[in-house]
Structure 1
Amino acid sequence: MFDLTIRNGKVCTEEGVVQTDIGVTDGVIVALGTGLPAGHKDVDASGLIVLPGGIDSHCHIEQLSGMGVMTADDFQTATRSAAFGGTTTVIPFAAQRRGENLLQVVEDYSRLAREKAVIDYGFHLILSDPTEQTLAEHLPRVIKDGITSFKVYMTYESWKLDDFQLLDVLHAAGRHGAMVMVHCENNDIIRWVTRRLLNDGYTHPKYHAVAHDPLAESEATYRAVALSRLLSVPILVVHVAGLEAVRVIHAAQTMGAHIYGESCPQYLFLTADDIDQPGVEGAKFCCSPPPRDSASQQAVWDGLLGDTLQVFSSDHAPYRFDETGKLPHGEATTFKQMANGLPGIELRMPLLFSEGVNTGRMSIEKFVALTATNHAVMYGLYPRKGVIRIGSDADLALWDPALKKTVRWEMLHDAVGYTPYEGREVTGWPIAVFSRGRLVVEGGVLHAQPGDGQFLPCGEPAPIARNKKEIQQGVIVKKIFAV
């Protein structure tokens, strides 16, 4: 007898959406077919869509910002919130600050997750101090232990690397088979504009978007692409916001460069106009890069639908709207002093489902690829995660495609205190979520405990399959790094 059977649902498999039952034993999918016998736990999914649990591969959990501000969410509250939104795997960042030993950073961060996470997790690194010891000794060790991706910054004084350092990091990634994620903004453009705005008394949150001009993003994206091409090492450009940045990535891909792109809810559902609020209310909408305009929104939609952008993450960077987070100086806080980042880990999938799938703009298969499968492939977790197939972990979310909700922070499960999507109408929501066959969320109730989540060693990242046939056959050709 199966431990769990989910029957009568419309299941999104790699072959498409089919009416089938799912049998689960020891946390793994062991049977797909009609008329399966009831399990110890038997779930009738009539009228529901059964999707792979989401993977959020860009979220900041229990992490200090560059200005030393701690995020509002720890591993317990963040993973709880993720689970209620249909996500069953998160990949946050073990962040190395300058002068810190990379091995100690990973050890300390692992302990936090091990004690608190309610769903499974992997790690990326943030590299801010790529010393010879870090790159030659410590990095190969952590890659061997299953942390096969790391993020670098081209802006923020406490995080940024210069081009020479970026080349060192890319070279190391190429040698050891790791993925480099790049925050692309030109630091000197931002610094130059910021100084002049502040000198002239322009301190309101809306000037955050002015300082982070779209050209800062597109120029840095072009430069990151050039560095990647020099060494023939793939990169992922994270949180793509602007029309020009999308075009730079598309042009690079057209030339055959191994460049990938990611975007996030804030770039589909917010614009710079949202930052223009009375007083400091606009700080609730400030992140980097900032939301742009309607033309950039459309460019991001087109990029996601047309395969220029391969993954859709939350970039959950939650800071409370008080002196401990967004407003270190209260009402006198300038746009330069605010903690940059938005919460979104719980709403990532419902927002895209509502405005993508339910409007007919996006197929359910594309939704699954952008929110789960492509993440698993890119970070070496496929086919254990991100798909519904025999042998995969039973990470499953049962969606009611007609369930309507009006977003209020009080209905969410993070610890932030607000949501930038307050009042938005959403149609389609997960009503039950399973992680490795264990019931995590049902009927608005959390059934998991802190520590239930498991660490996932990531494998060597692979290029995203270009069509469904490639994914079905598992033909993922590994990149041979020419370094």
Structure 2
Amino acid sequence: MSAYTYDVVVRGGTVATASDVFVADIGIRDGKIVQLGLDLMPGRREVDASGRVVTPGGVDAHCHLDQPSPPPVRMADDFDSGTLSAVCGGTTTVIPFAAQQKGASLEAAVQDYHQRADGKAHVDYAFHLIVSDPTDTVLTNELPDLIQRGYTSFKVYMTYDDLKLDDGQILDVLDIAKRHGAIAMVHAENSDCIEWLTKRLEASGMTAPRFHAHSRPMLVEREATHRAMALSELIDVPILIVHVSGREAIEQIRWGRAHGLNIFAETCPQYLFLTAEDLGIDDSYVGAKCVCSPPPRDKANQQVIWDGLKDGLFTVFSSDHAPYKFDGSEGKHPNGQQVAFRHIPNGIPGIETRMALLYSEGVLSGRISLEKFVELTATGPAKTYGLHPRKGAICIGADADLVIWDERDLVITNSALHHQVDYTPYEGMKLKAWPGCTLLRGELMWDGKSFVGPRHGGQFLPAGRPSILPRAARDTSPAHPHSLSTKPLEFP
């Protein structure tokens, strides 16, 4: 019998949850938090956190790892390098996407993604689904079955030719979400407007990376956000609008909530720390590094995003890590060439910098509270996607996923990061903090300087029912008060 009460004690830290901040010891046994208190008995290992803040390990609920792309393009990070980068930045759970290919089954996408992840991940992980081909078989059999097996969130696109669904298809998918207790994520941009603008820009010779932002003005996000909300209202089911970039989409979400709609929202670091100027102020191709969709907006828009983080508009703060190298033929230079903006692979890296950016520039700069930081980076995502309270919490019974923060001055350099991308869009940015210690289920993974944990010990997590969904029975819940009928429509 062990002479120690605990395997690990994290001692004397300022513990932050989504609701409280207090000084406590954290007792850990068998990878779980089993005690919070003062002057706990010794552990087999002791971690001194006195004078430092302790938060739950981050939950990055929107990232792309080893996701298939049309050749020759290929993501730079697989589950090995991507999750290594995550844990060194304080993230202990990731939720990337198993993407269905048109003409293929959703089940095949899930099995393929498990093969890509098994035995490679350094942190725990769940999967979102991407539904790109909602056939009768997918809607009737595959999607309901996968939801029951722990894949309780899925994403639909309103843009990109190989991914987008029309409104009728989106309604079909939302109906499945309502009937089976899942949450739908929506990439909200008007595809036809983007194509119309893109063709006219190309006809005028305006193809440099900076014109990517011109092809996707805020109004295309505004219109699609409003339309997505209307579709969710028709079905009477919550949705989450992903990577909200700007004021106009935010205004739509505020309008929807004021009218009683159950709309949730996510944003990302690029909309706080980048602007359209990062895509280039001339025709230089270096702006390709920051091509993502929706694109970053202007400087004034950053404050609108900060306001939304502070006042509760946003539930989730994710990286939307989409890792493509700048140099070489597999990334931002397809086939080794500079290409028109429509052909530049969309996405930027950010899985390792997400937590520190928001802690430094949000908490330590006085823009958001410590509790709000925890809510946005850990607790909110875990609740939204059915992983709470196992993940995203510091409470009895939760996994002992913890970050102990070092508050110190540093400068972001790509050479210090652990992803396989050859740049970071935040190069040279001065921060005031970085994770000084990351624990995954009680195991020390990152000591502030090096990865020191057991390799490839990440576990797959079947997700439960998202806790943001209504508790009422799925098919008998009251109709939305603004619906045309006083009771939900009944269909066979």
Is the TM-score greater than 0.5?
A: yes
Deviates more, 1:453-462 or 1:364-373: 453-462
RMSD: 1.5
Deviates more, 1:35-44 or 1:238-247: 35-44
Contact 2:246 2:297 (C-alpha < 8 Å) held by counterparts: yes
Q: CA deviation at 1:448?
A: 3.0
User: Could you tell me which residue of structure 1 aligns to residue 360 of structure 2?
Assistant: 354
User: Could you tell me which residue of structure 2 aligns to residue 174 of structure 1?
Assistant: 178
Contact 2:180 2:474 (C-alpha < 8 Å) held by counterparts: no
Asked if 1:385 corresponds to 2:395, the answer is no
Normalising by structure 1, report the TM-score.
0.95
Deviates more, 1:329-338 or 1:302-311: 329-338
Unaligned runs of 5+ in 2: 478-487
Letter in structure 2 aligned against 1:293: D
Residue from 408, 416, 431 that aligns with 1:426: 431
Q: CA deviation at 1:111?
A: 2.0
In the TM superposition, 1:42-441 aligns within 5 A as: 42-65=46-69, 69-276=73-280, 279-322=284-327, 323-330=329-336, 332-400=338-406, 402-441=407-446
Normalising by structure 2, report the TM-score.
0.93
Q: What is the CA–CA distance in structure 1 between the aligned matches of 2:435 and 2:13, rounded to whole Å?
A: 13
SS at match of 1:72: coil
Q: Rate the CA distance shift 1:329–1:70 in 2: closer, same or farther, 3 A.
A: closer
1:318-338 CA distances to partner (integer Å, 9 max, x unpaired)? Answer: 101122111115453111110
User: Could you tell me which residue of structure 2 aligns to residue 462 of structure 1?
Assistant: 467
1:121-147 CA distances to partner (integer Å, 9 max, x unpaired)? Answer: 000000100001011101111111111
Q: What is the CA–CA distance in structure 2 between the aligned matches of 1:59 and 1:167, rounded to whole Å?
A: 25
Deviates more, 1:105-114 or 1:312-321: 105-114
1:161-194 CA distances to partner (integer Å, 9 max, x unpaired)? Answer: 0001000100111111110000000001110110
User: Could you tell me which residue of structure 1 aligns to residue 480 of structure 2?
Assistant: none
Unaligned runs of 5+ in 1: 465-475
Q: CA deviation at 1:443?
A: 3.3
State the identity %: 52
Q: What is the CA–CA distance in structure 1 between the aligned matches of 2:15 and 2:130, rounded to whole Å?
A: 36
Q: What is the CA–CA distance in structure 2 between the aligned matches of 1:74 and 1:478, rounded to whole Å?
A: 39
Q: What is the CA–CA distance in structure 2 between the aligned matches of 1:312 and 1:93, rounded to whole Å?
A: 17
Letter in structure 2 aligned against 1:58: H
User: Could you tell me which residue of structure 2 aligns to residue 467 of structure 1?
Assistant: none
Q: What is the CA–CA distance in structure 2 between the aligned matches of 1:219 and 1:449, rounded to whole Å?
A: 47
1:425-453 CA distances to partner (integer Å, 9 max, x unpaired)? Answer: 01111111011111111132212344300
SS at match of 2:341: coil
Q: What is the CA–CA distance in structure 1 between the aligned matches of 2:318 and 2:405, rounded to whole Å?
A: 19
Contact 1:241 1:263 (C-alpha < 8 Å) held by counterparts: yes
Contact 1:65 1:339 (C-alpha < 8 Å) held by counterparts: no
Q: CA deviation at 1:13?
A: 3.4
Asked if 1:36 corresponds to 2:40, the answer is yes
Q: What is the CA–CA distance in structure 2 between the aligned matches of 1:240 and 1:329, rounded to whole Å?
A: 31
Q: What is the CA–CA distance in structure 2 between the aligned matches of 1:172 and 1:477, rounded to whole Å?
A: 16
Contact 1:462 1:479 (C-alpha < 8 Å) held by counterparts: no
Give the total of aligned pairs: 471
Contact 2:267 2:317 (C-alpha < 8 Å) held by counterparts: yes
Q: What is the CA–CA distance in structure 2 between the aligned matches of 1:34 and 1:164, rounded to whole Å?
A: 57
